[in-house]
Structure 1
C-alpha cells in the first residue's frame, strides 16, 4: 500500500516543541497499566509496531509494482534505518517534506500538549467527551481525575466509507510529527472507526506503513465491536479509562452523536465553545484522494 501526504491547513511543528518539552511527564498517581488493561477489556486493540524496522513495506517491495504516476505529497525521511530495497520502494511514492506546507493537525496537538502542561503544573484538565444523556443547555463533560491523558482521532472519511480497503492512501501533512509530540508528553492516541474489529490487523498495518504508529506507544484502535455497538458508546468507554483532552474529526457528529439528531446541527449554541477547545474539525488522517490542495508530483519513468 502506498502512503503519501496531503498538505491542507496552516501550522508549524516547531511551535509545538517547547510545549512538548514541558509536557514530558507521567504522574505517579495515575495508573496507566490499569487504564490500558480495562480499556482493552472493553474491546480496544493495542496498535503494535514490529521491532524489526527493516521489514517496513517488505511485503510490497516487488519490482512488479509500477512507479508513482499520479498526485501525491511529501514525507520526511524516516528516522529508522531502512534496507536499500525498502528505501528504493519508498522513493517511488515519497518525497522530502516541504516544511512550509500546511499541517491540519497542529492546533489539535498544540491544545492537547497544553493540557499536559496544565496537569504537570497541578492544574485541572477537562475532558472533551460529553457525559451520557447530556443536558444540551448545561453541557458537562466526563470526569478526568486519576486518568492518563489521551487524544481521540476519528479515522472515518465521510466521503469514502471504503478507505481502509484502498490500495493508495494519502497521509495528512505534519501528522507524524504531531503524534510524536503527543507521545513524548505521555498522551495516548486512540484511533476510532466504524470499521469492524476483524480489520484491526489490516488497519494496524496501514498505520505502520503510514508511520502513524510507534514502538512502545500506548496507542489503540477502537473499532466496531459488532451487534448494536455505536461509535458514541466507544467514546464513552474510552473516556471511562482515559482523560480524552482533544478529539479530531471531519464532522460535528464525530464529537457526539447528538449532532446526528439535531434538526439544525449548527443550532447547538451552548456547545460552540468546545470547538478549538477540545473539539477540532480536521480532515481524516488518511484519505483516498489527494484533493485540489495536494502537491502534484511529476510522473516518473
Structure 2
C-alpha cells in the first residue's frame, strides 16, 4: 500500500515511517522540515515532499498528486505553541484535516488514520476515563484535536471514508523535544542521563506514560485491522507518579542523587487516568515497554547506557 504520511519527519511520524516500511508499505512523507534528519536512516526508501500543513494548496496537492492509497495524518502543532498562536494551531490541526478529507473524497481515497490526543477529554472527567467519556478540552490543542475527530466522523458518515485513529496519553521517547508534557517525560529522564543531582518538587503527580514504540505498534494494530468498532481509541502505557518514574530511573542510574520536595503546582491541563480496554480487547494491544525497560532503551539511544 502507498501511504501519504503527514508529519512524518517528526518525533512520532519518523518512527511511524520506519514501521510502515518494515511491513512493506510504500511511504510518502509530507513535512515542512528542510532536512529531515530523523528520517536519515530510511531516506533512500521514502519519497519526501516538503510542504506546509498550514498551506491549503500544499496539503491538497500532496493528497491528489502523489497516488496514495491511504493517508495517515500526524502533522500538528503541540499544546504550548497552540496556546501561543491559536489561529495557526487551528489552521494546522483542524483545517488541514478538512483539506485532507476533501482531497480524499476528490480522488477516491477511502482510508484515513488520524492521530488525536487524550487532550480531547474533560480535565475533570471521572477517572478512569473511558473512550466514550466526556469530551471538553481545556486548551486550544485539545479543542483542535476534538474538532478534527468530529470532522473525521462526519466524513465517515457522509462519504464512507474509513477514518480511525488513536488518542495517546503522555508519549515519550527518542527525539521528543516539544509539547506540554515533555517536562514531565523526556525532561525528567534526561536529568538522570545528565548525571543529576535531580530535585523533584511534584513526586505524587500522576500521568500515563506510553513509549513511542508502543504507540506506533498500537497505531498499526488499529490501522491494519480489517475493521474497527469505533473511530477513536485511547492508547495508554503505565499510570505512574513522578516518584515511581524517578525510582525506576534510579534502578538504571543508581549513582544519581535524588531529592524530593512537595508543593509544586501542576501545569498539566489534562486528565491522567484512562480506560483503554477497547484497544486492548479488540486488537490485543499490550504495551511492551515498562517504564524501566523504556528508560533503558532511551538511555541506549542517547548513548548513555
Fold shared per TM-score above 0.5: no
Higher normalized contact order (CA 8 Å, seq sep 6+, divided by chain length): 1
Question: More helix per residue: 1 or 2?
Answer: 2
When normalised by structure 1's length, the TM-score is 0.28
